[in-house]
Each structure stands twice: as structure tokens, then as C-alpha cells.
Structure 1
């Protein structure tokens, strides 16, 4: 399993958010998110935006904490990353 999470540092809605991703498969990502109570509405094309309050439980559940730069690098290497220009289409 290659579920990754970056530190909660992205501000929105009165809190900060992490990105939860899979370095290899969206199916794997959706299964992990579902099993750990991440709402479907938190999905954004190639990742889930998860609030800081969920971070510790997701790490305890198996998500590997990595820096944001490592998370992006792994998404690209795994062919899962959706670039900004592709998001607009």
C-alpha cells in the first residue's frame, strides 16, 4: 500500500488541511479513504483534502507522513498526478 499524507498546512474553512493520496492507484486511495471515514466530498481529482483533526487517525491507520514535495514527486512517479491544466478541462 502506498497511501501518503502531507502535513496539515493548507488553510481553509477555519482550519488547515492535508492531502491524502495514493502513489499508485485511485482505487487504493478511495478504499483507504472509505475505510477511514473520509467523506466522498473531500475528493479533488487526484487526492482527498482532509482536515487537521483527521491527520493522526489517518497516520495511525497506515497513511505514511511525507513532506508535500515528496507527496507530489510520488504522485508524478506513479502516474496518478493530475496537472493543473488538466483540472480545468
Structure 2
């Protein structure tokens, strides 16, 4: 059971770069971790939280494992927790 975070490489709102926060075991674990981190539920998107660069170090302090974006996606898929957007 691990919460993973990728580097803040994704440009986003407020001129910040953003990371993805996921769990490789359960969404409950992810939601609990995000609450401890102070991430609002509205930051949750299907299978991950978008978190700003300003909380990256804190996430690691709380126990998130820093991984590459590729590793994050591979582990999310392997856990069966990947939820792709449905295109119409």
C-alpha cells in the first residue's frame, strides 16, 4: 500500500506546476492521504489528485513515494485503479 507522487511537471492554474497523487492499493487510502495533505476533494479527478508544486515536499514528508510519471501510471494500471476519461 503506497501513495505515489510524480514530479510537478504539469503547468496549471495560478502559474504553478502540478503533480499527480495516486494510490496503488485503494481510493480510500488516496482520499485519506489527500485529506492529511490538505488537498480539497475537488482536486480529485477520476483516479488521482492534482496537487500543486507547493505541497510536493510535504507529500513526501507524509510518506508519498516520489516516482516518475511513467512509473506512476504503470503502477496505477497494475493496481486496477486507472479510470480513463470516456470520450464522446
| Alpha-carbon distance between aligned partners in 1 of 2:85 and 2:74, rounded to the nearest angstrom | 15
Q: 1:18-46, CA deviations, whole angstroms, 9 ceiling, x for partnerless residues?
A: 00000110011001111121111110010
8 A contact 2:46–2:84 mirrored in 1: no
- What TM-score does the superposition give when structure 2 sets the normalisation length? 0.93
Gaps of 5+ in 2: none
Structure 1 residues 25-44: aligned runs within 5 Å: 25-44=26-45
- Root mean square deviation, CA, Å: 1.2
What residue in structure 1 maps to residue 4 of structure 2?
Answer: 4
| Alpha-carbon distance between aligned partners in 1 of 2:66 and 2:2, rounded to the nearest angstrom | 11
- What TM-score does the superposition give when structure 1 sets the normalisation length? 0.92
What residue in structure 2 maps to residue 59 of structure 1?
Answer: 60
The size of the alignment, in residue pairs, is 87
**Which consecutive aligned stretches of 4+ in structure 1 deviate over 3 angstroms post-superposition?**
none
